[in-house]
Structure 1
Amino acid sequence: MDLSGTLHLPLLLLLLLLLRVSLLVSPVIAKTDQPDVSALNVMYSSITNPSQLTGWTASGGDPCGDQWKGISCHGSSVTQIDLSGLGLNGQLGYQLSSLTSLTKFDVSKNNFKGDIPYQLPPNVVDLNLQRNQFTGGVPYSISQMSDLKYLNLANNQLSGQLTDMFSKIPKLSSLDLSFNRFSGNLPQTFKYLTSLKTLYLQNNQFSGTINVLGNLPLNDLNLENNRFTGYIPQKLNNVDSIELGGNPWSTGTAPAGMEKASSSNLGSGGSSSGFSSKVNGVAIALIVIAVLALVVLLLSLIKKNKSSSSSHYLDGRSHYMDDQLSNNRSFTPLVANDKKVIDMKPLQSSSSFGIGMITPMAMDPRRSSTDASVSEFAVKYHSKRSTEPITATSYPLSDLQLATASFNSSRLVGQGTIGRVFKAKFEDGRLLAVKKIDTINFARGSSYEFMEIIADMTKLHHPNVLQLVGYCLEPGYHLLVYEFQRNGSLHDYLHLSDDYSKPLTWDTRVRIALGTARALEYLHEVCSPSIMHKNIKSSNILLDSELNPHLSDCGMAVFYEDTSENLGAGYGAPECVYSMKSDVYSFGVVMLELLTGRKPYDKSRPVEEQLLAKWAIPHLHDIDGLSEMADPSLRGLYPPKSVSRFADVIALCVQTEPEFRPTMSEVVQSLVKCVQRSSISKRLGGDLSTSRRSDDSDW
């Protein structure tokens, strides 16, 4: 009897059963869609205190399978993010638009700052960002969210005028912009919000009429405490709950279809328009009387003290000028023919003064004593350094305040040990970066120290050194003005980027390392006397539009006496006494970042891998180990020989003993060998086989 057929049948049935079970189980164990993972990784890296986000990581992971805190999924797609009330700080990242399946995004009741990201989840239905510290305006990308029903941006620091962005979101049912700083008229595209039931605009600075709201199907409307004028559309009488108090509504006979504001529609917090008008009239009259009285008083004081006060100020200055300018025979006295005339031309043209330091504002007798002391310091400083004038532009504080929106947090682009950096937008279209140095850094010195630093920094000229273009010295303000680099810092590119945005190619990484090495070579070996940097890290390497590196904070080592405080964890050399070889060590750590894509210190990794240099050094001469160390975002697209030479340079730079580390000119020569001529030499230009030291001898 043949039993083979009998034996095969049960086996076949078992295989079919296993196949069916695997098909049923596979959707459960499917990993999260990669674009969703990348977006959450970037968001996690942008949050400064992510300890509450259990399960989250800065790279990789499976949000759906591992049940990350606040994440809900359908299949392998992230559909909801609810992180409300976790006390999170920082920002939201720049990759949220990759979350194409997300329908609910709630990060309310946290401490997020800066502008609301332009790239928001495109298909979100419920967007809740209320009770944070967002600044700037409403991003125009919201106009493309055709499924949006609930938008809550209340209790932030948003400002500006709403643009006409509401024509393509007809499903919007609830809009809350209350308790912000919005101003201007309501956009006419509000009329397209044909599903809008709830509108909260209270406690802003909106102005103009509210006619555009007349035909909306509102059930709940709050416009309290704004600057709305005109009449209230009669159709708003049908609104179930309406609050209109705290606005200067029009009085008198209302046009057809309009009505005056009355006690019935001003709400509990309002008052009748007639009473408001009377109060406003009394207030205006009192203000006018007070102003007139003040003017009369000031005129009498000016007349009384005109001679004495001006003479005292100018006499005090003239004594000082006599001391400083006794040998300047062309100097014209400030007081001429008893007319108290201030002649600025001799001051501006005198060789005893630096360029642009004596201005009418500096010599204005109406300035305060504090202002006068700063101006006097400027005169003394430039008299002292008459042969070394400062060529950088002296910017008025008012100009920089205007360009940075009064140093608003929405313009903040970086923060370091000694101060913060703001993006400055000028009316003529120029973009500059303003570094606002914390005043405490001058507690041990004076404004002389600041001007000495400026004078030295203006002598630095190298294509890979960030150029100082200006400064500002006014009471309480020590500001440096630099060229603005549009691609931010190397740190941002390496650690706040991901596989799907702008990964740096291997050729670009080598080019960045070589350019930075040339900058350090210039500081160490070309400048006389030599300059230590003391703050080499990836956040101080800025990238221009072509990803060329520019080393910032050059010439500011005076602020970094204690290097253990200013250098981030993982960058500092092991020795106690700082030297130029310590700069070499820090540069080696930056090269490790370029090679591995890892941070110098990452507490989210296993203990043995948290310090990048300690983990990497044993593997730098291991060919197999190098392939595992290389940044995964490179996807293996690099020449092994170039990587091996790159690792050899790193190993030399991060040696424990300073005396065994190479000079920066030796580092430059070694890095040149890593360059792939076919892809880099054309972009760098010139002969890469030699140092550029001879090109930068104008120190």
Structure 2
Amino acid sequence: MYRLGVLALLVTCIGTLTPWVHSKTNARDVSALNVMYSSMNSPSALTGWKSSGGDPCGESWKGIDCSGSSVTEINLSDLGLSGSMGYLLSSLTSVTNFDLSKNNLNGDIPYQLPPNALHIDLSSNAFTGNVPYSISQMTDLKYLNLGHNQLNGQLSDMFGKLPKLATLDLSYNSLSGNLPQSFGSLSSLTKLHLQNNQLTGPINVLTNLPLNHLNVANNQFTGWVPDALQDIDDIETEGNSWSSGPAPPSPPGASHAKKGSKEGDGKSGVSGLTIAGIVMGVLVVLAVLVALFSKRSSSASSHFLDEERASQRRAFTPLSSRELSHDLRAEMHKSFRAIDMDRKSVESSASVDIKALEKSPSIGFRPPLHDRMESLKDNEFANRLNARRSTSAMSYNLADLQSATGNFATGRLIGEGSTGRVYRAKYADGKVLAVKKIDSSLFQGRRADEFSEIVAKISMLHHQNIAELVGYCSEQRHNMLVYEYFRNGSLHEFLHLSDDYSKPLTWNTRVRIALGTARAVEYLHEVCSPSVVHKNIKSANILLDVELNPRLTDCGLATFHQRTSQNLGVGYNAPECTKPSAYTLKSDIYSFGVVMLELLTGRMPLDSSKPRSEQCLVRWASPQLHDIDALGRMVDPALRGLYPPKSVSRFADIIALCVQSEPEFRPPMSEVVEALVRLVQRSSMNKRGESPGASRRMDDFDY
């Protein structure tokens, strides 16, 4: 009987403890909430919350709801919270309801939010910056309210993959520019509030949406309110610059696409005869284009069309029929003849490049030779064709640039390097550009036309991981280059100038940055003909776009770099760079390896604040790159242990090859790209094959 009693007691205890065991919160959710709590200045209003550890689901933290061991809802509205939301929100993969409205939160909205959220409400705070681009990937999102904040700038064209979004509120901010075309893809949108912003242009993109509530009051919209929108029961349009007089007829099928056509009123706007005439006109123009294209090789034309589809950053302006003049047809004929010649020369140069690559030291894997050669041919051909289509940048007026930069005011300075200073130029329409003012001393003793040659060469560089040259200015002995502006700044700023809670980079983002930068350098080295040596690869010259994709800048400026061991970017110079003539493609490989070391360790290439033996990053790290235990101590502490050890080890192996002291042993950049791609592929396969009890370190790697 005694034994039976003990057994019964044990069963009772186990039954009592079981719910507690199951309520233990997912470790990644705990870490994300810990960071949130610290980022919001550890407010007393959040009872139960902790800055380290704890069990949100088991301990009933304020505003937290769970399902099993996963946090599913965060409701912290109207609690007087301040500070920011932290940087680990992307770890909250089970959160569907995220409400921090009516608080005093400030700064930019984090670039990553709970990725599977259905309901997000961040309204009535003091957020600045723009709508985070990560929202574009939330395909299940139904409700988004960012109203009553201080958001500014133009809306990105990021709404094309949100088919379930029913409510969107961006009211009472300072948003500017035209409505993005992707608004037209919001097929479930019934409520849209945009009032009290500075939005401009027409609102025709909203015509076919199933809206029941629309408020666009107090903006700077122009044009007319489409007829289809005037049928909405709840609509506010006052306080805009609408055109007076009768509106132009709607496009065929557009005016009543939403509500259905009205039969028998005799006012359809466009008759069947008119439509037939439009169709015939379009067919005639297409017939002329087809006739022109058919005279050239099918391979050339297909590449041209593929390149046009792939180039999402360039606006496509259709030719009108009167533009198809005799001179234009002659010019097109001449261009395609040159394109055919380009293809032949590309095939020849590609063959030579492949032979050179085969002699290079191998990392251990490469695509089949035929595939590699075809890829190189296609990339090179697309590059030359792209350059032929756009070989000149826009000329900017000096007075306009002076006005946009506040006469190059110190407050507009965003960077300074060996070739000059970079300023932020902001225009009245909200457009922001980066202006690189090249040091005038670099032009002493040079030809007057040398700057125009440099501009022409840079404007021929087109790659998704290279900062695009927008224009130039050459007036009154001022020589300037105008680039895209990237609000997120440089990799150097993310790694070395931000605190633990504002701009950290997860491991998978670091690998993606390394891979994108490697592809940019591969393009310069092995696709461009002749090869382009960068000579200034460093983290400060790797800019990050809204999705944290890398954009290499300062490409094509090597002519200004008189590289020696003294004036090369501190800590990035390869051992052989003792004089300018010694700098080669392999020297670029070394500098890229140093950038990879920065991504791995979070350290600067040269840091006098460290102990003497650790001041030079390469010298300190190189002997430890193949030591697993040492690697664990080298990894950037900002990662907080959230990384897959095998991926880190392979990453370190690639670094070791790049920073070898002998240039001839460093791999070509094409092999570095292949190694990084293979690293991603292996990590992805490993994650898919992990058991349910896999460590949280591998879970963080979400390729």
Q: What range is the shorter-chain TM-score in?
A: 0.3 to 0.5
Greater Rg, structure 1 or structure 2? 1
> What TM-score does the superposition give when structure 2 sets the normalisation length?
0.42
